[in-house]
Amino acid sequence: MMTPQSALARFYDLWGTLSDLRHAAEVLEWDQLVFMPPGGASARAEQLATLRRLAHEQLTSPAMGEAIAAAEAAVTATEADRAALRVARREYERAVRLPAALVVEQARAASAGYHAWLAARQAGDFRLFAPCLQRLVALARQRADALGHDGEPYDALLADHEPELSTAVVHALFEEVAAALLPLRQHLLEQPAPPPLGRPGPEGEQAQLELGRLAVTAFGFRWQDGRQDRSVHPFSTAFSPHDTRITTRLSTEDFAEGFFATLHESGHALYEQGIDEAWSRKPLEEASSTGVHESQSRLWENQVGRSQPFWEFLLPAARRVLPAVFGDRNAWEVYRAVNRLSPTLVRVEADEVSYHFHIVLRLRLELALLHGDLPVDDLPGAWDEASVQLLGRRPADLLEGVLQDVHWSGGDFGYFPSYALGNILAAIWMAAARQALPDLDRLIAAGSFSPLLDFLRRNIHRWGAWYTPAELVRRVTGEDLQAAPYLAALREKYGALYGV
């Protein structure tokens, strides 16, 4: 018979091993994307598969199930222990519901799907990808049914990223935002666009790096607990609050590309650096959700980095480092240039107003695919139609259309909403921060970011996975998740920028 205290200790001990296995796999993945020579690929695939398998076995073992149950019964459990156990119970239940054969089958289909997607892109022929996608949709549906749901299979997939948020709530929220933004976007696209920033040229890469580091340092990124490297696609990862990694991609064509990628990824890393150390190797060490994670990156990239006060702060340094681009610009002109609306149909190039429509388009199609209302063969046509309706234009080819994102090729359904949720949440946090810090703009213009970072630390970062996204919103604002702050922020910003 175990004493209550040893039940908790036993649970944390098992979970600590799980955490170590996961972080070890993440170190290998980071290395794979940043430093590994191409020849290392097949050995690395084996190493990762082994670590992932061990982690899965650790999570789903009978010992873990018993340890969670025993710890739940422990009378000495604190509130933090109870929160950790809620997260552990949620993860454990989902993992044990998935049959091992389905997990293996999904991994196989994802690998085949990725290669078929590449081939289809290269050939410009969707039919090369269609059979794999059909298989991936069927498996996603099986996965949803295995995980369990109340008639809406998408709920089960969404829960991979957004705990306890329903499809109905997300769908209604997104459609409300889309309906409100559609006329605004159309109107803005009819106005003359502000002049873009000039081409940075060969000095541009070093300048993006230098100004990015300057900004991120001012934000409060702890370099002794993090580093930055280059990679093909910018990303961030963290192995503990004291070891966070970000990457960026630099461009000689477009200053904004590498610079804003650094700001974006640093927002993710600031979140990880702020999670309470007491949760390390415990269930609460994770983020609240993918959308909450994304809200941190988008807050620093868009709400801060694409604001006029921020450019008042950065412009003297920008002029010194890259006079060809910034020499004759004032803060207002840079502010206008970095917020220019773009008619692009490519999600990753979208501006702040257009971005939402890219996600609504994908959510509608994912729901139709998963519900069996849209055969995979009809997907390219449905995509093009939705593109006309939401973005005003038909894609010129598959790369601008249905084959632009990698997600579906890996069977990743239910991921896209977190991006749009990140934008909506970022605006909610920023509105709350402005209430708490009425002179926030003046602080930002003076390069004083610690009051904002402290606000985020106190209200969001330190809690890790303690609260679900909806709970966090209620705690920070006293209200439910809603679109109003996001719509208000966009209307105010773009109204002023375009003089409408």
238's enclosing H/E stretch is strand 236-240
Structure tokens at 292: 């909450």
* Minimum CB–partner distance for residue 326 and Zn ion (Å): 26
Using CB under 5 A as the binding rule, the residues of this chain from 188 to 217 that contact Zn ion are none
- Give the list of residues 6+ apart from residue 402 with CB closer than 8 angstroms, or none: 126, 379, 380, 383, 384, 395
- Binding of Zn ion at residue 247 (CB under 5 A)? no
- Alpha-carbon distance of 159 to 165, in angstroms, equals 7
Nearer to Zn ion, 307 or 423 (CB): 423
Smallest separation (angstroms) from Zn ion to the CB of 244: 13
Question: With binding defined as CB under 5 A, does residue 237 bind Zn ion?
Answer: no
Q: How far is the CB of 294 from Zn ion (least distance, A)?
A: 5
Q: In this complex, which beta carbon is closest to Zn ion, that of residue 297 or of residue 308? A: 297
Please tell me the distance from the alpha carbon of residue 492 to that of residue 394, in angstroms, as a whole number. Answer: 29
CB of 269 to Zn ion, least distance (A): 11
In a 3-state reduction of DSSP, which class is residue 251?
coil
User: Does residue 418 interact with Zn ion by CB under 5 A?
Assistant: no
Q: What part of residues 283-302 is at the interface with Zn ion (CB under 5 A)?
A: 297
Which one of the listed residues 91, 265, 272, 352 is annotated catalytic? Answer: 265
State which residue, 295 or 404, has the beta carbon closest to Zn ion: 295
Binding map of Zn ion across residues 67-96, x = CB under 5 A, - = no contact: ------------------------------
In eight-state DSSP terms, residue 247 is: E
Q: Which is nearer to Zn ion, 297 or 302 (CB)?
A: 297
Residues 449-488 that bind Zn ion (CB under 5 A): none
Query: DSSP 3-state assignment of 387?
Result: helix
Nearest to 205 by CA among 262, 288, 150, 135: 262
Query: 243-248 and 226-230: which strand pairing?
Result: parallel
265 tagged catalytic: yes
Minimum CB separation from Zn ion for residue 223, in Å? 20
Rounded to an integer, what distance in angstroms lies between the CA atom of residue 223 and that of residue 95? Answer: 36
**Nearest CA among 383, 347, 339 for reference residue 493:** 339
Task: Assess contact for 361 and 386: CB atoms under 8 A.
Answer: yes
Position of minimal CB gap to Zn ion: 297
| 106 versus 290: smaller Cβ distance to Zn ion | 290
Task: Assess 423 for contact with Zn ion (CB under 5 A).
Answer: no
End-to-end Cα spacing for the chain: 72
DSSP 307: S
In angstroms, the CA 383 to CA 395 distance is: 9
Count of chain residues binding Zn ion (CB under 5 A): 1
Rounded to whole angstroms, how far apart are CA atoms 10 and 24? Answer: 21
Q: Which of 19, 297 has the CB closer to Zn ion? A: 297
Closer of 90 and 347 to Zn ion (Cβ): 347
CA-based radius of gyration for the chain: 23
Q: Least Å distance between CB 264 and Zn ion?
A: 6
Instruction: Name the packing angle between helices 255-274 and 204-219 (round to 10°).
Output: 30
- Rounded to the nearest 5°, which phi and psi values hold at 236? -135, 155
Classify strands 226-230 and 236-240 as parallel, antiparallel or unpaired: unpaired
Nearer to Zn ion, 233 or 320 (CB): 233
CA distances to 380, 381, 398, 403 from 127, rounded to whole Å, are 10, 13, 11, 11
CB of 237 to Zn ion, least distance (A): 11
Q: Which of residues 295-334 bind Zn ion (CB under 5 A)?
A: 297
Provide, rounded to whole angstroms, the least separation between the CB of residue 352 and Zn ion: 14
**Contact in structure between 245 and 277 (CB atoms under 8 Å):** no
Active site residues: 265
- Contact residues for Zn ion (CB under 5 A)? 297
